[in-house]
């Protein structure tokens, strides 16, 4: 069915509404040739009960719940609304899920940093609880009983003592006149009463995805819409010296060629600039782009070369850097060492490579801009549009479609800005479509890094000193000039927060200049730091001729809460969470290690000669451990035969989606370990598509991935990212167990073993 979105202006501010609280409701109408996803508009003129911006209960009992985070297959639309419904006491068969537009009224909407549950859960529960309390208040008044004597479940309010009940819809009109409970007045249910929490919930969007009815960024259709593709500079910072659009305009279907000016550094979320070819179809636009005659001027980054830059990073970690963690006297420990273990590690640039390349549809009409985008962060997109177009924020709307994979790429809205700029130039709706090649060659890349670790061992084999040097271009270079060191937020990802029961520890950060757009990717800097630390501990075990599991547990030390003083840091940003609520807890880290090695029959299988590797890591306030088993085929190619992963992420809401994300994390980690590498020559990315930037194929996936989620009633940590960091070191440690060859440079296929 073709539908058009009818949008009313959003009521500004949390809690502002007519006769109650603020929320939005989808309002669809038919229009030929138009396809857009249902989106949220205001319900201010509608009857019914509103609880915050999240919950609306109609007089007929239909409960509409808003999901303000983006759905990327992780099941956020199948999890957060269900928690609200449980808190309310709603029947999910009578609940409608709505997708929020980008609006500050929702607070943080960025679906990034494994934060959807750990940051937003309490506020969402309060919205459901407030609506429940309002309904109960009306029922109790009618029955002349105390509210405490009433309960809400199965879409009704009950008074058990008198066996009376009211359906939600029967209470809505009167409840909408009540003040909305807030703050300490909101009484949450015990977690044990949330009937769906911790169960295996279905993926609500799955039927639409399977049937092809789900709407992603490239599926949006508007009347008169044109398609655009961009010719962007091959080197970051390059400008056009000359171009001739005549040949492109001669291609049938091509309507316009639009120039977008190259931005000045720092690049942030700006378009890279270049030429947009606008046509009646994607194919015509691509043919037009291929016909363009562009000459690019030389950029300051034109000499960027991966091989040469690797040597720059090596030099940076082979000399003292900025001290970021310090306990005891490392120099004295190293000088007194009976045995010294040293190693250097290198992780190349990585691309996000989601299955769906970026796409956004924009309609700019005078001083109004409306966008439909496959975005992880609609508020960032809205802010960038306001800044770039010079419009009033109230006249800019960003609708969120389903996201076909993001991994952090689609929280950067440069492609959304491009769509709006071209729409304004041509005076028509425009879909800006990136191709796979565009995405690989113009990505916000995961940083390239070098690390050097040195450990001192005494006569008994105990580690007495630990020196960790790391150097990599910082994400901060994207937003400010002259940034050559990592910030504390990036260093907390394995360098500052990895617990070490070692008397002398020092970590240093070396200088590194960015020559490409550096962004965050799934697990961010935990990728390189977990790889180095997980591999290095395995090297220490080999030097001691000890069991890697026993060595890892010894280095982590006994169960304890690790203070900042013990870590050797003044403070720890701790992923934005207070340390008293989410401390560095070695008991939890030890538990996942012990459990994954039990699950994999670590000791037994190693005695039988099976090549196993182990690694563990704390990230995004959760704890994960991985065991990988590898073998060589007849051609000497490494295959990851089996993997075991255990996660402690505190309170789990949707076990099925957590299990799926952990399985995906293993595949993501296999891709990094075996293939992942973006390289530069003469300032340009050398890779272009899956043929030369490979991800793990079906035949390369482990034949079985065993997942265990540790039961916990503690505060929720992250889930989407923590499973990734231990995977690559576990695989490479297994390769060492199998071949005796230590791989310190990712990916494995460069070593001739993949």
Residues 6+ apart with CB under 8 A from 565: none
What gap in Å lies between CA 348 and CA 356, rounded to an integer? 23
In CATH, the number for domain 4-211 is 3.30.365.10
Percent of the chain scored above 70 by pLDDT?
A: 94
Two structure tokens written together for 95: 């609940």
Q: What pLDDT was estimated at residue 614?
A: 99
For residues 507-522, average pLDDT: 98
| Residue 754 pLDDT class (50, 70, 90 cuts) | low
Helix axes 548-556, 526-544, angle to 10 degrees: 120
Checking if the pLDDT of 41 tops 90, the result is no
Two structure tokens written together for 401: 């479609």
| Residue 198 pLDDT class (50, 70, 90 cuts) | confident
| Residue 19 pLDDT class (50, 70, 90 cuts) | very low
Q: Residue 226: helix, strand or coil by DSSP?
A: strand
Beta strands in 420-503 (DSSP E): 430-433, 449-457, 463-471
Checking if the pLDDT of 221 tops 80, the result is yes
Strands 293-296 and 396-400 turn out to be unpaired
| Residue 17 pLDDT class (50, 70, 90 cuts) | very low
What gap in Å lies between CA 127 and CA 250, rounded to an integer? 57
Q: What pLDDT was estimated at residue 33?
A: 67
Q: What pLDDT was estimated at residue 294?
A: 96
Checking if the pLDDT of 672 tops 60, the result is yes
Q: What is the dihedral of CA 564, 565, 571, 572, to 10 degrees?
A: -20
Q: What pLDDT was estimated at residue 713?
A: 85
Q: What pLDDT was estimated at residue 44?
A: 41
Phi, psi of 341 (to 5 degrees): -115, 130
Fold classified for 217-300+358-433: Aldehyde Oxidoreductase; domain 4 (3.30.365)
Residue 349 half-sphere exposure toward CB, CA atoms < 13 A:
32
Checking if the pLDDT of 25 tops 90, the result is no
Tens of pLDDT, residues 431-467: 999 999 999 999 999 999 999 999 999 999 999 999 9
Q: What pLDDT was estimated at residue 598?
A: 98
| Residue 40 pLDDT class (50, 70, 90 cuts) | low
Tens of pLDDT, residues 310-368: 999 999 999 999 999 999 999 999 999 999 999 999 999 999 999 999 999 999 999 99
Q: What pLDDT was estimated at residue 93?
A: 94
What gap in Å lies between CA 337 and CA 350, rounded to an integer? 37
Checking if the pLDDT of 8 tops 80, the result is no
Report the alpha-carbon angle 638-640-644, nearest 5.
155
Checking if the pLDDT of 256 tops 80, the result is yes
What H or E segment, with its residue span, contains residue 605?
A: helix 602-607
Checking if the pLDDT of 22 tops 80, the result is no
Residue bearing tokens 């028509």: 428
Q: 644 near 704, Cβ under 8 Å?
A: no
Checking if the pLDDT of 10 tops 70, the result is no
Partners of residue 628 on adjacent β-strands: 613, 643
Checking if the pLDDT of 702 tops 60, the result is yes
306-351+444-751: same fold as 217-300+358-433?
yes
3-state DSSP helix/strand/coil % of the chain, to nearest 5: 35, 25, 45
Checking if the pLDDT of 27 tops 70, the result is no
Q: What is the dihedral of CA 720, 725, 727, 731, to 10 degrees?
A: 170
Domain locations along the chain: 4-211, 217-300+358-433, 306-351+444-751
Partners of residue 455 on adjacent β-strands: 341, 466
Phi, psi of 682 (to 5 degrees): 50, 35
User: What mean pLDDT, rounded, does the chain reach?
Assistant: 93
Q: What pLDDT was estimated at residue 751?
A: 80
Checking if the pLDDT of 4 tops 80, the result is no
What gap in Å lies between CA 197 and CA 1, rounded to an integer? 35
Strands 704-709 and 638-648 turn out to be parallel
Tens of pLDDT, residues 600-620: 999 999 999 999 999 999 999
Greater pLDDT, 411 or 198:
411
Q: What pLDDT was estimated at residue 618?
A: 98
Fold classified for 306-351+444-751: Aldehyde Oxidoreductase; domain 4 (3.30.365)
């Amino acid at each position: 069915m073709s539908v058009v979105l009818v949008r009313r202006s959003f009521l500004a501010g949390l809690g502002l509404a007519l006769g109650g609280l603020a929320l939005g409701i989808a309002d669809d109408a038919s229009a030929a040739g138009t396809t857009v996803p249902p989106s949220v508009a205001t319900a201010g003129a509608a009857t019914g009960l509103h609880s915050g911006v999240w919950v609306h209960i109609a007089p007929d009992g239909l409960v509409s719940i808003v999901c303000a985070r983006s759905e990327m297959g992780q099941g956020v639309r199948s999890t957060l609304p269900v928690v609200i419904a449980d808190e309310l006491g709603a029947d999910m068969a009578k609940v409608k899920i709505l997708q929020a537009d980008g609006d500050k009224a929702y607070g943080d909407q960025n679906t990034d940093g494994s934060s959807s549950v750990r940051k937003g859960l309490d506020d969402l529960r309060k919205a459901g609880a407030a609506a429940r309390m309002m309904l109960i208040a009306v029922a109790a008044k009618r029955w002349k009983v105390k509210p405490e004597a009433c309960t809400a479940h199965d879409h009704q309010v009950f008074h058990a003592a008198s066996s009376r009940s009211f359906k939600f819809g029967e209470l809505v009109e009167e409840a909408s006149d009540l003040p909305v409970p807030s703050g300490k007045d909101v009484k949450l249910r015990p977690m044990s009463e949330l009937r769906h929490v911790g169960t295996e919930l279905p993926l609500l969007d799955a039927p639409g995805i399977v049937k092809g009815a789900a709407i992603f960024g490239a599926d949006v259709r508007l009347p008169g819409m044109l398609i655009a593709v961009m010719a962007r500079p091959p080197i970051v910072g390059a400008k056009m010296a000359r171009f001739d659009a005549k040949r492109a305009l001669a291609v049938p279907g091509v309507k316009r060629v639009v120039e977008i000016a190259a931005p000045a550094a720092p690049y942030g979320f700006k378009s890279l600039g270049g030429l947009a070819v606008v046509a009646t179809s994607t194919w015509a636009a691509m043919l037009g782009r291929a016909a363009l005659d562009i000459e690019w001027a030389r950029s300051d980054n034109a000499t960027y070369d991966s091989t040469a830059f690797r040597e720059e990073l090596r030099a940076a970690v082979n000399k003292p850097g900025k001290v970021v963690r310090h306990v005891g006297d490392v120099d004295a420990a190293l000088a007194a060492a009976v045995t010294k273990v040293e190693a250097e590690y290198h992780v190349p640039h990585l691309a996000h490579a989601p299955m769906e390349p970026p796409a956004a549809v924009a309609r700019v009409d005078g001083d109004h801009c409306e966008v439909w985008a496959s975005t992880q962060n609609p508020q960032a997109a809205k802010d960038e549009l306001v800044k770039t177009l010079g419009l009033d924020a109230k006249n800019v709307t960003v609708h969120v479609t389903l996201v076909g994979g993001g991994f952090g790429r689609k929280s950067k809205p440069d492609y959304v800005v491009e769509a709006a700029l071209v729409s304004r130039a041509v005076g028509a709706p425009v879909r800006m479509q990136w191709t796979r090649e565009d995405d690989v060659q113009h990505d916000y890349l995961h940083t390239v890094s070098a690390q050097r670790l040195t450990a001192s061992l005494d006569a008994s084999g105990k580690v007495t000193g630990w020196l960790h040097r790391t150097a990599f271009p910082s994400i901060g270079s994207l937003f400010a000039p002259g940034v050559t060191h990592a910030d504390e937020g990036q260093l907390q990802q394995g360098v500052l927060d990895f617990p070490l029961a070692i008397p002398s520890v020092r970590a240093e950060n070396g200088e590194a200049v960015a020559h490409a757009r550096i962004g965050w990717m799934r697990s961010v800097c935990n990728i390189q730091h977990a790889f180095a630390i997980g591999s290095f501990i395995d090297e220490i075990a080999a030097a001691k001729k000890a069991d890697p599991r026993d060595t890892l547990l010894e280095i982590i030390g006994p169960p304890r809460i690790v203070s900042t003083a013990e870590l050797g840091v003044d403070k720890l940003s701790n992923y934005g969470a207070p340390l008293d609520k989410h401390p560095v807890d070695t008991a939890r880290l030890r538990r996942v290690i012990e459990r994954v090695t039990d699950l994999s029959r670590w000791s037994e299988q190693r005695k039988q000669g099976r090549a196993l590797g182990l690694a563990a890591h704390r990230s995004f306030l959760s704890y994960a451990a991985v065991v990988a088993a590898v073998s060589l085929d007849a051609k000497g190619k490494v295959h990851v035969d089996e993997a075991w992963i255990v996660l402690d992420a505190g309170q789990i809401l949707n076990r099925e989606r957590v299990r799926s994300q952990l399985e995906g994390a293993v595949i993501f980690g296999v891709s990094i370990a075996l293939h992942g590498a973006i390289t530069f020559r003469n300032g340009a990315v050398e890779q272009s598509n899956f043929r030369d930037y490979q991800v793990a194929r079906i035949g390369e996936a482990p034949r079985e991935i065993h997942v265990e989620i540790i039961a916990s009633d503690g505060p929720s940590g992250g889930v989407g990212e923590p499973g990734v960091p231990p995977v690559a070191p576990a695989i490479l440690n297994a390769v060492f167990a199998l071949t005796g060859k230590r791989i310190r440079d990712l990916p494995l296929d460069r070593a001739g073993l993949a």
